[in-house]
Amino acid sequence: MTDLTTTRATDEAAGDPAADVASLMQMIAGGAILQTLHAVAELNIADHVADGARTAKEVAEREGSHERSTFRLMRAAASLGVLSYEGSGRFGLTGRGQFLRTGVPGSLRSLVLIQAGESHWQPWSLFPEAVRQGASQAKKALGADVFDYYARPEKADKAKLFADSMRDLAGMVTQGILAEADTEGLSTAVDVGGGDGHLVLALMEANPALHGQVLDLPHAIEDASRQAERRGLSDRFSGVPGDFFVEVPGADLYLLKTVLHDWDDDRCTTILRNCRSAAGEGGRALVVEMLVDQEIGKPDFATIADVTMLCVTGGIERDLDEFDTLFAATCWHRGRTYPVGGGYFAMELEAI
């Protein structure tokens, strides 16, 4: 006699083959979907239809692209919900498509161009080898690791695009941080690897008594200094060229926004230990990162971000236990932890 429980479990495991194939086909098409968005961003499609629906012919004339191919691209974009089809060959812009426009709040255009461009796309062809070796193959694909690749003078435009994409991502979480983080009573904050200083400058605007610094590579702090001047904060801001693996300036608060995920555990330990060594009595840090859900098998974008880090930078997206291990090893204690938007969380640390 057949066990009914066993039969039911076998049926559930088998699933619906047709639905499973369709679902897997959609996953296989993921690369084509990204490159479709890449073309939409590169050809400024969202900008061309932002002020009203247009035909592919009109967009092709504006962009200088092939008319029929432009139609095919726009038709695919409509199937992805990025464009709307208004009839008579005219395409408009959806709410989703708004975030592929240039220069709008929350835009993800720069991120698409980076993720689908050569610096990120080429290493993916070697991802199986990255898993075998436990290390990014970006150097093999690009001739340098991704950060050295961006530092090449001939890649200055790519470096700017990468910085823009990071600034766009920062914009998503900064308001969440401002709503929760308390800098009252603090005099100095250092944005470690802070790029253009978006976060520390926002905290300085919220707290007129706070002085801010950005510790980063020379070309990055030049941008941060320009941003500080534009926002009228130059008298309380300074850029510090340096290497956070070697030394960080003394401060009351260290900001580590999407820094630790770029590096393996040993290098993260070095960064956190340098911050702890420079921190005074009662020193604090604010770490902002994605958190991998500890329940395996749930839909979790952080796990996809994690294999992206393995592929491109050699970094790691971590769960709370993994972060706590790093913090304990470097004499930091994690206090409040809260979501700040865009799938990111802020972890408040105290020196111990």
Sheet containing strand 83-87, edge to edge, reads 54-55, 90-93, 83-87
Radius of gyration for the alpha carbons in the chain, expressed in angstroms and rounded: 23
Which of 217, 37, 47 is CA-nearest to residue 121?
Answer: 37
Q: What is the Cα–Cα distance from 310 to 127, expressed in whole angstroms? A: 8
Q: What is the Cα–Cα distance from 227 to 220, expressed in whole angstroms? A: 11
Q: State yes or no: is 38 an active-site residue.
A: no
Q: What is the Cα–Cα distance from 14 to 11, expressed in whole angstroms? A: 5
Q: What is the Cα–Cα distance from 62 to 54, expressed in whole angstroms? A: 11
User: Which sign, positive or negative, has the C-alpha torsion 182, 190, 107, 344?
Assistant: negative
CB-CB contact of 123 with 135 (8 Å): no
CB-CB contact of 36 with 79 (8 Å): no
> Which among 48, 211, 261, 333 is annotated as catalytic?
261
Cα angle vertex 169, ends 243, 191, to 5°? 30
3-state helix, strand, coil in the chain (%, to 5): 55, 15, 30
Beta strand pairing status for 188-192 and 211-216? parallel
Q: What is the Cα–Cα distance from 213 to 235, expressed in whole angstroms? A: 11
Continuous segment of H or E residues that includes residue 314: none
**Residues with a known catalytic role:** 261
